[in-house]
Amino acid sequence: MTIKGQAYIVGAFEHPTRKAADKSVAQLHAEVAFGALADAGLTASDVDGYFCAGDAPGTGPLSLVDYLNLKVRHLDSTDIGGASYLAHVAHAAEAIAAGRCNVALITLAGRPRSEGMATGTAPRVRNLNEPELQWEFPFGLTVANAYAMAAMRHMYQFGTTSEQLAWIKVAASHHAQHNPHAMLRNVVTVEDVVNSPMVADPLHRLDCCVISDGGGALVVVRPEIARTLKRPLVKVVGAGEASKHQQGGEIDVTYSGAVVSGPAALAEAGVKPSDIKYVSIYDSFTITVLIQIEDLGFCPKRQGGRFVSDGNLIAGVGRLPFNTDGGGLCNNHPANRGGMTKVIEAVRQLRGEAHPAVQVKNCDLALAHGTGGLLSTRHGSATLILERE
Amino acid sequence: MATIRSIPAPHPHPETQAFWDAAANGKFVIKRCDACGKAHWYPRPICPFCTSPATRWVEASGRGTVYSYSVNRHADPLYIIAYVTLAEGPTMLTNLVDCNPEEPLMGRAVKLVFTPTEGGPPVPIFTLA
């Protein structure tokens, strides 16, 4: 079975808030859910499939289907960190193709900023039964350091430089200046990035994404329903999933699960990297983008540094416009999970609804990709190929 | 040079208790599989390479090289997180101590030093050899 052409994204909504001190996580989920349904021209009573991940408060999806008062016949709470929502779109397409549901709602929300969470720089204990906990927590592993070790090795093995990584932030900032909701709207230079304080060597403060509250939601439906709605048709044409981990100690942090999920998605869609007009690439840190771009096949391994330099990721300037909303690096990173906003901006581009200053001309094929978890220890990868019909 | 940070006690699981008991006696052990002959990290009762349950604790040399590292600049005192590739093959997550974080550390030879934790067994940490 292929999911190619089996489902369409008809609703997409990104919460405008970046700090939601006066709202609960459940309320944020509800606001994005109803925002995406309104965008699609559907209502809650049309929804018969619900998808959420680890940001949802409660027992998997149960608390939220109760809160939203949804009556569904299909539930999925696959959690591969920030990449979950890309996987949810593929899983929704599979469920629709299998006749399990017709209208799938996917939501994400969180408020780490209001809760004062030290997202990237403090070690966290989640569950004492985690097999890796005793081998990582005593050593103070943090999110930022886990990504930084991939950067350090990439630099050592391939000659990648801090200045090359900085170009990724520079490109994101060029896009964010046009987004009134973005947390960081000032255009920055390579010098600004490399002169910002070191957080986790070799990553500087400006190599890191923002910490924000907010959320987003998507509505995925079967083709017959999509054609009755008034929105531009954004078709799901390919998907891939993978995990990458420590491999029993045979560790190689220079590549990600995108080496599996990317080619799988491209093959299902029947397209090549050079056919893609726009990419949403998970940007928890600058190094995340560079490694994924290599792994997805936009340039050979070890050449990512050169590829991202000199504005090559800036819309209207370079060959591969990316994250035209400003991405996690400048716009937002709701619930510390960036996969949802990656899909939403790809949908905007395919609909022609991105900001005019960053809208890619004739954008009919987009790739969205996420890395959830930690780049150098264990992570999930999910790739989606979307086409405007 | 940073002072040594306080290290939280590891939380052993039943199948890893022997590792921490050995550590308390100053011995650094890893798991090797009798079926495929390979050593792995972190230690598991079932070999992650060949799925054999014939894994056995063996004493390791405590010698290795730095595969990658990063400094936590937000912490006080700051500390160095590292992946060290052991002479026996596997690469493990650890810390580097008593070395200058401003100096390049990639590829450097290191040796094990067991370091006390808050009320638990000591943890395997490395310093320049």
Supply the DSSP symbol for A322. Answer: B
Pull the structure tokens for residue A361: 């001309």
Mean pLDDT of chain B: 96
What is the band of A363 on the pLDDT scale with cuts at 50, 70, 90?
A: very high
What is the band of A265 on the pLDDT scale with cuts at 50, 70, 90?
A: very high
Whether residue A136 and residue B93 make contact (CB cut-off 8 A), yes or no, is yes
What is the band of B3 on the pLDDT scale with cuts at 50, 70, 90?
A: low
Select the residue from A130, A152, A376 to test the B interface by mutation, using most B Cβ atoms within 10 A. A152
Domain ranges of chain A: 8-115+209-388
Domain range A8-115+209-388, CATH architecture: 3-Layer(aba) Sandwich (3.40)
Q: Do A173 and A330 contact (CB within 8 A), yes or no? A: yes
Q: What's the CA gap between B108 and B129, in Å, rounded?
A: 8
Q: Do A328 and A338 contact (CB within 8 A), yes or no? A: yes
Q: Is residue B112 part of a domain?
A: yes
Q: What is the mean pLDDT of residues A309-317?
A: 98
What is the band of A337 on the pLDDT scale with cuts at 50, 70, 90?
A: very high
Model confidence at A182: pLDDT above 90: yes
Quick: pLDDT tens for A342-355: 999 999 999 999 99
Q: What's the CA gap between A343 and A218, in Å, rounded?
A: 8
Q: Is residue B32 part of a domain?
A: yes
Q: What is the pLDDT of residue B97?
A: 96
Nearest-Cα distance to chain A for B94, in Å, is: 6
Q: What is the pLDDT of residue B2?
A: 44
Residue found by looking up tokens 């990063």 in the block: B70
Q: Is residue B9 part of a domain?
A: no
Whether residue A139 and residue B125 make contact (CB cut-off 8 A), yes or no, is yes
Q: Which helix (H) or strand (E) holds B32?
A: strand B29-33
Quick: pLDDT tens for B22-63: 999 999 999 999 999 999 999 999 999 999 999 999 999 999
Residue found by looking up tokens 């400094």 in the block: B71
Q: What's the CA gap between B108 and B63, in Å, rounded?
A: 11
Whether residue A139 and residue B9 make contact (CB cut-off 8 A), yes or no, is no
Q: Which residue of A has its CA nearest to B95?
A: A139
Q: Is residue B54 part of a domain?
A: yes
Q: For a pLDDT cut of 70, what percent of chain A falls above it? A: 100
Mean pLDDT of chain A: 97
Q: Which residues of A touch B39 (CB under 8 A)?
A: 249
Q: Is residue B119 part of a domain?
A: yes
Q: Which helix (H) or strand (E) holds B33?
A: strand B29-33
Q: Do A305 and A158 contact (CB within 8 A), yes or no? A: yes
Q: What is the mean pLDDT of residues A1-20?
A: 97
Q: What is the mean pLDDT of residues A293-313?
A: 98
Residues near A124 by beta carbon (within 8 Å), at least 6 away in sequence = none
Q: What is the mean pLDDT of residues A223-228?
A: 98
Q: What is the mean pLDDT of residues A365-380?
A: 98
Q: Is residue B2 part of a domain?
A: no
Q: Which residue of A has its CA nearest to B9?
A: A138
Q: What is the pLDDT of residue A121?
A: 82
Nearest to A375 by CA among A152, A168, A190: A152
Q: What is the pLDDT of residue B1?
A: 43
The predicted complex's ipTM stands at 0.97
Distance (Å) of CA A319 to CA A8, A45, A274, A283, B33: 27, 43, 10, 18, 49
Nearest-Cα distance to chain A for B54, in Å, is: 16
Helix axes A143-158, A286-295, angle to 10 degrees: 50
Q: What's the CA gap between A278 and A234, in Å, rounded?
A: 14
Q: For a pLDDT cut of 90, what percent of chain A falls above it? A: 96
Q: Is residue B10 part of a domain?
A: no
Q: What is the pLDDT of residue A120?
A: 81
Q: What is the pLDDT of residue A9?
A: 98
Range of the domain at B58: 15-128
Full-prediction pTM beyond 0.95?
yes
Q: Which residue of B has its CA nearest to A148?
A: B70
Provide the number of structural domains found in chain B.
Answer: 1
CA of residue A195 relative to chain centroid, distance: 27
CATH number for position B27: 2.40.50.840
Q: What's the CA gap between B79 and A180, in Å, rounded?
A: 38
Q: What's the CA gap between A253 and A121, in Å, rounded?
A: 20
Q: What is the mean pLDDT of residues A354-368?
A: 98
